[in-house]
Amino acid sequence: MHELPITENILKIACEHAQEGGAKQVTDIYLVIGDLSSIVDDSVQFYWDFISKDSICEHAVLHFRRIPAVMECESCHHQFELNGDLTPCPVCNSIQIHLISGDEFYIESIDVIK
């Protein structure tokens, strides 16, 4: 259910930027979502179809680009993709690891018609 306020924010941001740029219509919105962000693409799309009606963003296509979770070992500096559960470093077995990417969520770009 947290996708509704997220989708409302996407609409607000896209409408504001499009209007500031003198656009007549938003055609495409490109979103970047980290695998650890807990955002469900289908839910965002579901809400988008309803809340974008009668706005400059109506009929805009949402494009979702997923960023994998990448960890770095603080002991040996090996970087590895996290596939599922949190695991120790596959090289040195250290549990001292930190997140490099995978929790992102942002609008990468917006295509408009002027």
60 falls within a domain: yes
Q: Is the pLDDT of residue 1 over 70?
A: no
pTM to 2 decimals? 0.85
pLDDT at position 41 is: 93
E runs forming strands in 1-114: 25-34, 61-67, 70-73, 79-81, 97-101, 105-113
Q: 34 lies in a domain?
A: yes
Evaluate whether residue 17 is within a structural domain.
yes
Q: How far apart are CA 54 and CA 80, in angstroms?
A: 45
Q: How far is CA 96 from CA 27, 55, 84, 91, in A?
A: 44, 48, 18, 12
pLDDT over 80 (residue 64): yes
- The candidate with the shortest Cα–Cα distance to 94, out of 109, 111, 78, is 78
- Taking residue 69's Cβ as centre, other Cβ atoms within 10 Å add up to 19
Does the residue 63 lie in any domain? yes
In total, how many domains does the chain have? 1
Q: Domain containing 39 — which CATH number?
A: 3.30.2320.50
Residues shown for the chain: 114
Residue 48 lies inside a defined structural domain of this protein = yes
Residue 2 confidence class, pLDDT cut points 50, 70, 90: confident
Per-residue pLDDT of 19-39, as tens digits, reads 999 999 999 999 999 999 889
Q: Amino acid identity of 1?
A: M
Is there a domain that residue 80 lies in? no
Instruction: Establish if 85 belongs to a structural domain.
Output: no
pLDDT in tens, 69-102: 999 999 999 999 998 888 999 999 999 999 999 9
Residue-number span of the structural domain to which 53 is assigned:
3-67+102-113
Summarised one tens digit per residue, pLDDT across range 47-62 is 999 999 999 999 999 9
